[in-house]
Chain A
């Protein structure tokens, strides 16, 4: 029953041009835009070059945004009565949520893969090949914490336009999470507490791990991004649970 559902879900998402642009093309376009400014992108950075760094950033942004958009539909569809329709079949609601997560992870995976492929094709480099795989995996797994954020926002506002807002807010999180451009000073200190900071810092860690501390762009100690990611994962999970309970009680 799950495979049929997942198949139809994919058909729906790929029919919807709007989703496709935001999930797949926008991160790729941004990488091409920012990743090919000749003045600095060919410079070495950590174990690779600046292009590799930007590739991770854009892939992380794309994966997180796709996850928010797709996971959020769990909420909006449940509230539109689809949840009741499913409740009248033998499929448990957990399978519904699980199917959506598989779809979200797949789309996030494709989105990140496109950026990585573009990176490989246009000169993103790293000395140790395993860093390609490790960065990609962290991008993909870390994106999953934003699923709870999407579900929570969807349950609070119950409309598809709210999901647009949730995805839009991700741009803001990305700016203040040190994703798009390196922040400095007080901004960087504040950024350490925003939801995308830990996620993207962890994804960059394999690239930057050997940089001595104190150097420009040197990574924070590993515990800092990890703590940020875990804390936000818990916050988003609680938000999703509370929002779901409230939404169902009002139904």
Chain B
């Protein structure tokens, strides 16, 4: 009998190791972070303060940028040390959530805008920065007008925009000239351009969707073009989401059409986005839907490129004055003991001097007047022009809608591309998921 009990216990132990793989409880974070705060008050001397910054840049030059900024801040605030920790995507989000729930919460951390940030606000993990903006009107006015909007929720502003990531259709000017086609101004013209390239044996668009976020970026644009603004906003709100507008189906058909007509890299679902992108960078594809942080790769590849915004289909009910993408930046955690110093540091990062230095990281600045012909290439300047003329942003759909809805919507796009699900069927699933989210919000 004892032997049996021992066997059972050993078996349980063996099987229980499965649990260690995933759910590590609340203290699952990296223990390497030094201790919190470090407020040592020593008689009459100034208090030694440590502020922790957590970000997701991993390139050597980018990491150095933040280290230099921390050093510059220390030079002007000798009693303040900024401790930096970083980890790349996609692990960043997981680790951030673990840290925010533990005693190791960073004082300042990188965040996307939209729902990604709003859920931290609902959990009370982030600080409202409204009063800091109000107390410094010069700083407040230095941002590009629309950049702060996606950080606003629940009547407060919960982040500082650091850069703006946008998505535009990048085209190969040489191939356009060779095929004698113009930059399209309507959806119908856009389809004709794609058809011309296809008939000429040139890949119209380099695009791979092995990872579901890739098609999601197209859908962010198409939904903005096809669904009225106020409806889309209501659907992004987890208390009012419905997704019943016919524009959503129309938008999915736009994606499906391009796939069915063969305008994307063949075997789209089996190709990594980055691998597909190479076709454009070696000059084999006429267009690629790219983020502005990828313009540097286009430039380095020596492609003579231009950008345009995907035009709306005739009669579409959405807004074609929105830029696909969003600003991202930094939030201050509600447990931060010295928020005024954290804000000071973020002011340094968003000063014109440090924004110009950040241009090496190939991003569009959130601060007005940072870009000029000396520090930015033609693509970037055009992108800034589009941003400044935009009425707002169509935020990345996967960051903007409730995660339970994204959980159905994103893999569904792969099924649309595979042709195993119709747009109507997918939207029915999305609506069902939205109904559950709404019901659960009503219970709370």
A and B associate: no
